[in-house]
């Protein structure tokens, strides 16, 4: 039985999707084992402040590709991180910076709440996160 948001159905769908993709990837690249860091998790986001937090968290998540311990140790070279985010195409970060690219066709910015008045507000949110001290509850 699922709750009113269909949590059981979403979890089952994600389990099947991630399992199928892992099997496909492992078969294609002649490998075995898991591809993902952990099991799918979901939470109900009922407040705008939670959604804004997740929005920022998701856009900064790729930083771990160049510095796996940035949340623990802080960011040493902010320019390197910002340059990386500005070239990482597998995120909607560039779309929120208003950089048009071919991937923009699948992003509908009006579907997102207007947390930021303009690009400067978005930039400030990202900088606030990057400047937080290591092990902060913010990150």
Its pTM stands at: 0.68
State the Cα–Cα distance between residues 82 and 75, nearest whole angstrom.
Answer: 11
Stretch (H or E) spanning 32: none
- For the cut 50, the answer to whether the pLDDT of residue 36 exceeds it is yes
> For the segment 75-87, what is each residue's pLDDT rounded down to a tens digit?
889 999 999 999 9
What pLDDT score does 137 carry?
Answer: 58
Measured over the CA atoms of residue 49, residue 50, residue 54 and residue 57, the dihedral's sign is: positive
> For the segment 49-77, what is each residue's pLDDT rounded down to a tens digit?
888 888 888 899 999 999 998 888 888 89
DSSP structural state of residue 133: P
> For the segment 85-130, what is each residue's pLDDT rounded down to a tens digit?
999 988 888 888 888 888 888 877 766 667 777 888 889 989 988 8
Instruction: Decide if 82 contacts 93 (C-beta within 8 A).
Output: no
Domain ranges of the chain: 1-43, 45-139
């Amino acid at each position: 039985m699922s709750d009113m948001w269909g949590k059981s159905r979403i979890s089952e769908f994600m389990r099947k999707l991630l399992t199928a993709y892992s099997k496909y990837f492992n078969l294609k690249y002649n490998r075995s084992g898991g591809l993902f860091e952990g099991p799918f998790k979901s939470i109900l986001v009922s407040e705008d402040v939670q959604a804004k937090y997740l929005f920022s968290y998701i856009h900064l998540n790729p930083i771990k590709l160049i510095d796996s311990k940035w949340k623990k140790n802080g960011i040493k070279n902010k320019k390197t991180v910002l340059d990386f985010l500005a070239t990482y195409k597998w995120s909607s970060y560039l779309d929120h910076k208003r950089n048009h690219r071919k991937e923009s066709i699948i992003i509908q910015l009006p579907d997102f709440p207007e947390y930021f008045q303009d690009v400067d507000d978005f930039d400030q949110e990202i900088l606030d996160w990057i400047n937080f001290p290591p092990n902060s509850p913010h990150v």
